[in-house]
Structure 1
Amino acid sequence: MSSANTMSVPTFGISQPISMDLPSKKDVLLNKSLTETLKSFNCFEASEETSQRVKVLKKLNFLVKKWIHRLTITRIPMGQCVDAGGKLIAFGSYRLGVHSSGSDIDTLVLAPRHVTRMDFFTSFKKILMEDSEVKDLLAVETAFVPIMTLNYSGIDIDLLFARLDLPTVPDTIDLSDDNILKNLDQESVRSLNGCRVAEQLLKQVPNQAAFCETLRAVKLWAKNHGIYSNAMGFFGGITWAILVARTCQLYPNATPSKLIQKVFFVFSTWKWPTPVILKHMEDRFDMKNLNQLVWNPRRNYADKLHMMPIITPSFPEQNSTHNVSRSTLQVIQNEMKETFKVCEDIQKGTSTWKDLLEETNFFCKYKHFIAVSINAETEKEETDFAGFFESRIRQLIQLLERNSQVQTAQVNTRKFKSPGKSQWFIGLEFIQAAKSLDLTEEIKRFKKNIGNQAKEKIGTVQIEAAYVKRSNLINYISAAELKRGKFMKNDTSPEKENADRKRPTTTKSGDAVKKPRTAVNSIGSIPTTF
């Protein structure tokens, strides 16, 4: 490319695009079929549900303003004459325009400096409890990001709180201004992060409509392929949004039908741990405490250990994938490589969008599993503990990975629920030379870690773990669950397994040799209960 042409090409993010090509007729036709396929998967909510969401947000915004006004009257001289404002802001998938029917809404309460977090969890919580429209209210004050969850008039709401160092909070407040973070507590900074990231994402993409439809499809794909969960070591919604946004920057004129293919092309060949960055990062020396939180592997040793760094675009820029482990990196890479092949087939007309987006079967991928479950005397106790436990399962994956004979450990992101019990399954793949394996110590260490972290939360909860062969899974879950989703073509299919039993291996001379026994015949030493 000549220097003159280079100067005429716009820059999106940190580099110039890979291609400025305009959509072809085939791209447009494929995009129409993509939209129809997404509709068939119920990715778009009905207009009635959209209207209900808007009504709920208006009601909650009114309650926030009324609550702040009451506190202002009691705490500010001549408070009845002061309009301290306050505001409820939606972020996450709802703000990005990629929410689906039945999904929750992430929201943030913005309050002026004379309203505290304690007020939020006491007087505002009381207002919600007295509201007949509110159900299933749960407050978690000690969470890393303190939160209240509730159902308001049929809509699930996640409610965060941020106390700004401002006397009033106007409706026109600009959260993209970094100065708004000055003098805030860490909880408020974390709570603001989701809103600020969502706004930056929309600013960084050249075509918001193309970004939104591409992201909608990629999120559906990730969920149906079992790799959508930040807590379990995969990618969460923000991470997938950043990858799609970066692809939009590299192919600014492409349709979603082309962008989906490019997402898997770019990131199936990405040289990890090279970071994915949407915009240049600048040091903010006027906010030293926050500047130290910025992802910087040259300054912070822990950042050097991140395997797939994907950096949020708002200050303080942080890695959204710090939970990724060796196994989840491998699983994500394999899924992307296989999906890129499907995308190429779609372009050729030999596959359809349904082939790409439909749910896949987890249990056909592995021959060996660990079933991990929790039981409690009461349903409430089990439900309260399940969320905490699920967010720690990745720690067991990391312990299993340290065993030299374990090649891959992948947790099924779906939870299997029965009265008083929640259960998860971890698929195991072992190195080819593995003969005998005992994972008792890894399981014991995990249980000990959970006990230390849970403390008073554990109550009557019991943790159980058992080794399960694929042929015995029917004793743990229903046949319908075992058959759920599309069975992928791989070397662990039942047909392949039976063929391997019958077919001996051979030497170069053609002589048959006895196949070595593979792993896990002695993994059963895992205790069933601790």
Structure 2
Amino acid sequence: MFTRLSMPTVSDKLDLRDDSHLRSLDIRYIWTLNGCRVTDEILHLVPIKENNFWLTLRAIKLWAKRLAVTNEILQGKSDWPKLFEPQNFFQKYIHYIVLTASASTKEHHLEWIGLVESKIRVLVGNLERNEFISIAHVKPQSFPGSRELCKQSGYVSMWFLGIVFRKVENAESANVDLTYVIQSFNDTVYSQANYLNVLKEGMKIEAAHVKRKHLHHFLPAETLQKRKKQSMPGSSQNASGLQGKRTSSDGSCLDSSRDTDSRTPDNSSSLPKISKVDTATAERERNAVYTSCSCAISV
């Protein structure tokens, strides 16, 4: 968001709670400022921010995202620290879409991934409009391609989208064909690249549906493994028995996507299945996964 203030320079110590800064501003700029102004006002009114308020606010956010863990705690089946346990995005879902952008040179790659990344929200929106998909959750952090993949395609970046499929009601089987969704996204990116005159030879986009058990062909083991709990410095046991744990940072910039309880049941009989892949070698299996880029999935 951007707001133009009626002043020649903006100081680091600028207090946006001062209503005088709103004078002569366009209404759109005032609306843009309202979010941070409200947050600053709340923090200003809270006497002890560092402990009780921040811990409680964090608990409320986690409770809203993890509406099953909290119920277990209230029923006496779990303790409060469980709510603060860090989650690993790559342990969270059963199904993923791997989006790969590649270019032949470093300069072209930097330009290309910026354009692709700016359009991923379009892909997320299109996926969630599919009747068989309830959640499409993108991890905003990109990952470099493996050494083998870079040998084939040059400079490579990958994004991962966690997918939750709806259960198929009153049907033994159904076909979920995401080809149109993927192709529509590709067309959008290439069309924008042509319009901006940035499309170069060697710039490519690929997408593949991958199960969690196959992610090790795309990412190193340390990225996929579950994280250990980390204590929150200064957290204290309060009257209601709430004790905090700090969630370890996963390197993401901003993740405003939906969050879900990590204990998603593996209803294998009612979830999409990807066709069998060649497991002779890791490289052959990874290539076999990529051959399913048409994303025709059997449910």
**TM-score, with length taken from structure 2:** 0.59
SS of residue matched to 2:214: helix
List runs of 5+ in structure 1 lacking aligned partners.
Answer: 1-143, 146-160, 215-255, 269-334, 501-516
Query: 1:481 and 2:223 equivalent?
Result: yes
CA 1:372–1:405 in 2, change beyond 3 Å: closer, same or farther?
same
CA-based RMSD = 4.2
Structure showing greater relative contact order (alpha-carbon pairs closer than 8 Å, 6 or more residues apart): 2
CA 1:391–1:337 in 2, change beyond 3 Å: closer, same or farther?
farther
Task: Tell me how far apart the structure 2 counterparts of residues 488 and 192 of structure 1 sit (CA, whole Å).
Answer: 35
Q: Paired residue for 1:61?
A: none
Q: Paired residue for 1:392?
A: 119
Match of 1:409 among 136, 140, 149: 136
Task: Tell me how far apart the structure 2 counterparts of residues 472 and 170 of structure 1 sit (CA, whole Å).
Answer: 50
Q: Paired residue for 1:443?
A: 182
SS of residue matched to 2:182: helix
How far apart are residue 212 of structure 1 and its match? Answer: 5.7
**TM-score, with length taken from structure 1:** 0.36
- Count of equivalent residues: 233
1:198-217 alignment runs, 5 A limit:
198-205=39-46, 207-210=48-51, 213-214=54-55
Match of 2:162 among 427, 431, 456: 427
SS of residue matched to 1:392: helix
The aligned amino acid for 1:360 is Q
Deviations 1:18-56 (A, max 9, x none): xxxxxxxxxxxxxxxxxxxxxxxxxxxxxxxxxxxxxxx
1:493-508 alignment runs, 5 A limit:
none
How far apart are residue 413 of structure 1 and its match? Answer: 3.8
CA contact (8 A) 2:17 2:40 kept: yes
SS of residue matched to 2:213: helix
CA 1:379–1:212 in 2, change beyond 3 Å: closer, same or farther?
farther
- The percent of aligned pairs where both chains have the same amino acid is 29
Task: Tell me how far apart the structure 2 counterparts of residues 189 and 365 of structure 1 sit (CA, whole Å).
Answer: 39
Q: Which has the larger helix fraction? A: 1
SS of residue matched to 1:409: strand
Query: 1:526 and 2:254 equivalent?
Result: no
1:57-76 alignment runs, 5 A limit:
none
1:173-322 alignment runs, 5 A limit:
175-184=16-25, 196-205=37-46, 207-210=48-51, 213-214=54-55, 256=56, 260-262=58-60, 268=64
SS of residue matched to 2:101: strand
CA 1:339–1:385 in 2, change beyond 3 Å: closer, same or farther?
farther
How far apart are residue 468 of structure 1 and its match? Answer: 1.8
Q: Paired residue for 1:38?
A: none
CA contact (8 A) 2:209 2:274 kept: no
SS of residue matched to 2:164: strand
CA 1:476–1:178 in 2, change beyond 3 Å: closer, same or farther?
same
SS of residue matched to 1:389: helix
Q: Paired residue for 1:337?
A: 67
List runs of 5+ in structure 2 lacking aligned partners.
Answer: 229-260, 276-290
Task: Tell me how far apart the structure 2 counterparts of residues 526 and 491 of structure 1 sit (CA, whole Å).
Answer: 26
